[in-house]
Amino acid sequence: MLMSLALGLLLGALSALVMFPAAEHLRSLQDGERAQATLHTSGACMSGQCEVTFKAGGQTVVADLPVGSGGGRQSVGAPMTVRYQADDPQVVAREEDVGGGGAALLAWMSGGTAALFLVLSGAAAIYLARQRRTSLR
């Protein structure tokens, strides 16, 4: 019961504190400047461990893709289109991600799973309380 409660709270925190804000951040770049980029460092893009290289204002920029990004299965050097903030080109996202889809989907999935675990731990607590009451009689 305690493990279920802890898991539910952890998944709820992941959803509320990480994935929903990540989806909103990705959506905020929908009207950003468009640029052709190259994947500079590949890795777990969903957790924010990928970098892209692109030109912005005549400068070459190497920027981290934010949490919730896709494209982790692409190899280094893969071309992609990115959107970035005109006043801060370090704030960038893949054009395919600016709808917030992957991060929003993961947020809803982890939130739903958190709710399931919380309901299960609540049901277990009620069951144990009833068992104690009947054993005391």
Q: In this structure, are 8 and 35 located in the same domain?
A: no
Q: In this structure, are 46 and 89 located in the same domain?
A: yes
Residues sharing a CB contact under 8 Å with residue 12, sequence separation 6 or more, in sequence order: 110, 111, 114, 115, 118
Closest among 35, 33, 30, 78 to 54, alpha carbons compared? 35
Q: In this structure, are 52 and 103 located in the same domain?
A: no
Q: Number of folded domains in the chain?
A: 2
pTM (whole model) above 0.95: no
Its domain, for residue 62, covers 31-97
Q: Which CATH number characterizes residue 90's domain?
A: 2.40.50
Q: In this structure, are 45 and 91 located in the same domain?
A: yes
Report whether 23 contacts 15 (CB < 8 A). no
pLDDT at 84 (0 to 100)? 93
pLDDT at 137 (0 to 100)? 67
Q: In this structure, are 45 and 88 located in the same domain?
A: yes
CA distance 118 to 124: 10
Q: In this structure, are 18 and 46 located in the same domain?
A: no
Q: In this structure, are 42 and 66 located in the same domain?
A: yes
Q: In this structure, are 36 and 24 located in the same domain?
A: no
Q: In this structure, are 80 and 40 located in the same domain?
A: yes
pLDDT at 46 (0 to 100)? 74
pLDDT at 49 (0 to 100)? 82
Q: In this structure, are 12 and 54 located in the same domain?
A: no
pLDDT at 79 (0 to 100)? 92
Q: In this structure, are 55 and 77 located in the same domain?
A: yes
**DSSP-derived secondary structure for 20-78:** HHHHHHHHHTTTSEEEEEEEEE-S-GGGT--EEEEEETTEEEEEEPPTT---TTSPTT-
Q: In this structure, are 35 and 86 located in the same domain?
A: yes
pLDDT at 83 (0 to 100)? 94
Which residues of the chain fall below pLDDT 50? Answer: none
Residues sharing a CB contact under 8 Å with residue 137, sequence separation 6 or more, in sequence order: none
